[in-house]
Structure 1
Amino acid sequence: MILQNLNYPLDFKFKITTLSSDFNITDKNGNYVAYVRQKMFKLKEDVIIFNDETRTRELFRIQANQWIDFNASYSMTDLENGKNFGTLARKGMRSLWKSHYDVLDENNALKYQISEDNAWVKILDGFIGEIPIVGMFTGYFLNPSYTVKDSAGKEYFRLKKMPSLIGRRFQLDRLIDIDDKDESLVVLSLLMMVLLERERG
């Protein structure tokens, strides 16, 4: 399964009517790209990607692997053929200061890297968020962004958290063209990263 003919920017919009971390991915015309549902009460992350909110067709599944040396990785499975699609790996020590993830293909070869653009945004959000009343509005002016690059430093995508009271919307832009399979791998990696970053605050 490959996500094809994506019309950017893509919107990642979390639902506020469910207890689980569900969100829709739609294109610039409002058409569904996918519906993401994180299973609740799991010791390790378990995420299903559906074709839309009706959940009639499962496209991909992302599951956490074992923690090794303070790094965590998340395997992506193409549910059409049951094969490994790739892996998202969080770089533990590097992510303490500024979030950093590696995107690996089905052969565990490094394809892309996702890096937070400005670590101070997260730090200020943590400090100001503790201030009564003022902290409620950090979602309007402290919004991180993340850039996807290859090993040569060429930029392919940028994901931004959009201003909102409860931080429930992200927007993804493609900066340059990319192979369809790699594009799907990056989009899957970013949707998993969004879930992880929300958990971290």
Structure 2
Amino acid sequence: MTVHPVEQLVMRQRITLMINRYAFTLGDDGPLVAFAQQKRMAFKEQVTFYADEAKTQPIFSFKARRKLDLGAVYDVFDADGQAIGWFKKDFKKSLLSSTWHTGVMHQGLEASGQERNRTVAVLRRLWDLVPIIGEIPVPWQFHFDFATADGTPVLSSQKRIALRDTYDVTFPAAPNGARMDWRVGACIAVALDALQSR
């Protein structure tokens, strides 16, 4: 399967009682390129992305290697079940500032990401500590930046300040013009929204 480079996706979340639904489009008004569902409180996380909302054609997925592991590695698979990438939360570093690591094997790419605004990171932790308030979506921006070891940006996920949860997921071009595989980036965007507090 040929995967064309993507510059920006818009991820819109639809929240229901037990399931989070995510729709990815090319820009605000572009076509739907992926649709996923994530069951809340799942003990072993597995999310499949489809080409349409009817879920007739799976196109990629991610799955945790182990159950109930705070430092779990999540593998990303293509439509044929071949591993194309991975990501994980750095539990120790995340005690102060949420930190994630990722890799895309076929691109030889590895990167790490953190919240851009440390103040927001602290406020969000305090918000989550209050049982009743913690169930209310955070009322501020949520912005993660991922870069390689030499500082080259490869992925950004930024929540808009809006009533409906909407994220801009961007893939900056490297000096050689290459962009991170958008399938891995889409998986990370869902994880940052759904798994961040775990």
TM-score class normalised by the smaller sequence: 0.7 to 0.9
Q: How does 1:7-156 map to 2 (within 5 A)?
A: 8=8, 10-17=9-16, 19-28=18-27, 29-39=29-39, 42-66=42-66, 70-79=70-79, 81-106=80-105, 111-127=110-126, 138-139=138-139, 142-156=140-154
Tell me, what secondary structure is at the counterpart of 2:151? coil
- Residue equivalent to 1:176: 173
Whole-Å separation in 1 of the counterparts to 2:3 and 2:190: 13
1:194 aligned to 2:193?
A: yes
Q: Which runs of structure 1 show a deviation greater than 4 angstroms over 4 or more consecutive aligned residues?
A: 67-70, 135-138
Of residues 159, 173, 177, the one that matches 2:157 is 159
Whole-Å separation in 2 of the counterparts to 1:68 and 1:137: 24
Tell me, what secondary structure is at the counterpart of 1:97? coil
Shift of 1:2: 5.1
- Calculate the TM-score normalised by the size of structure 1: 0.79
Equivalent residue letter for 1:163: I
Flag the 1:122–1:42 CA change in 2: closer, same or farther, 3 A.
same
> Greater relative contact order (Cα 8 A, min sep 6): structure 1 or 2?
2
Flag the 1:22–1:2 CA change in 2: closer, same or farther, 3 A.
farther
Whole-Å separation in 2 of the counterparts to 1:100 and 1:2: 31
Whole-Å separation in 2 of the counterparts to 1:136 and 1:184: 29
Equivalent residue letter for 1:83: Q
Whole-Å separation in 1 of the counterparts to 2:5 and 2:49: 18
Tell me, what secondary structure is at the counterpart of 1:185? helix
Percent of residue pairs bearing the same amino acid type: 20
Tell me, what secondary structure is at the counterpart of 2:6? coil
Q: C-alpha deviations, 1:97-126, integer Å up to 9, x for none? A: 11111112348x761112211232032234
Whole-Å separation in 2 of the counterparts to 1:37 and 1:30: 20
Aligned pair count reads 192
Tell me if the contact between 1:4 and 1:180 (Cα under 8 Å) persists in the aligned partners. no
Whole-Å separation in 1 of the counterparts to 2:186 and 2:15: 22
Q: C-alpha deviations, 1:141-183, integer Å up to 9, x for none? A: x212111101101123321111124x62111223325535634
Any stretches of 5+ residues in structure 2 without a counterpart? none
The structure whose residues are more often helix, as a share, is 1
Whole-Å separation in 1 of the counterparts to 2:114 and 2:189: 11
